[in-house]
Amino acid sequence: MSKIIDTFIAPPCHEQIEILYQDAYLVLINKPTGLLSLSGKNPQNLDSVHHRLVQLFPGCTLIHRLDFGTSGLMVIARNKAINAALCHQFSQRTVTKVYSALLCGHLAEDDGVIDAAIAKDPALFPLMSICAVNGKPARSRYQVVERFYRKSEDGTSLPVTRVQLIPRPGAPTSCASTASSWATRFWAVTCMAACCCPAPNGPQG
């Protein structure tokens, strides 16, 4: 097994975090692509969703994370009780996650299941890739939303497929590596995520 050395330095992210909803208990945001969910060990990787939000909401905590290159919805807890309630939902697999991805190429099938183990890629860290030897099991259902053509910079029409990916609850997920498992000619060029959490019960103090 190749040793993974974290030398990744995130390029500056100038996009702002969009706050979609907030109350005394939680915050719902739209994370931009190219922003870490949590600050890295390297001081140059300080900028992150958590680092930015604690300036606005002291004591807030992340319930889950999204990959560096993935944009989409994230739920942020504002107190310990809500953090515990939402973490319980994730651990009990009652949360539904849906990813939207644009793929280069037209998929032949309209839907199906991708069952492939994924792991951090030593050569492309922090990206992940399909790895049958050292990877963790990952299973996602996919549904084709549309197939279309997009003009490239040189005027060439490129085939593109928009899909929805629904990972198995509780399993590790990497939108890009999951989507690229169809074939080497397919690459996830854009990923967005959404999640649906039942309203937490119990104390909210």
Instruction: Identify the pLDDT of residue 159.
Output: 93
Q: Which CATH superfamily is domain 1-95 in?
A: Pseudouridine synthase (3.30.2350.10)
Tens of pLDDT, residue by residue over 28-42, are 999 999 999 999 888
Active-site pick, 23, 47, 67, 121: 67
Report the chain's mean pLDDT, rounded to a whole number. Answer: 82
Instruction: Identify the pLDDT of residue 202.
Output: 46
Q: How far apart are CA 170 and CA 168, in angstroms?
A: 6
Nearest alpha-carbon partner for 163 in 135, 140, 133: 140
Instruction: Identify the pLDDT of residue 67.
Output: 87
% of the chain residues with pLDDT over 70? 78
6 is an active site residue: no
Instruction: Identify the pLDDT of residue 188.
Output: 42
Which residues does 5 contact at the CB level (< 8 Å), separation at least 6?
125
Which residues does 154 contact at the CB level (< 8 Å), separation at least 6?
none
CA 153 to chain centre: 28
Instruction: Identify the pLDDT of residue 118.
Output: 84
| Residues of the chain falling short of pLDDT 70 | 1-6, 125-126, 169-205
What are the residue ranges spanned by the domains of the chain?
1-95, 97-197
Q: How many CB atoms lie within 10 A of CB 69?
A: 17
SS3 (DSSP) at 90? helix
**Rounded to 5 degrees, what are φ and ψ at 68?**
-50, -45
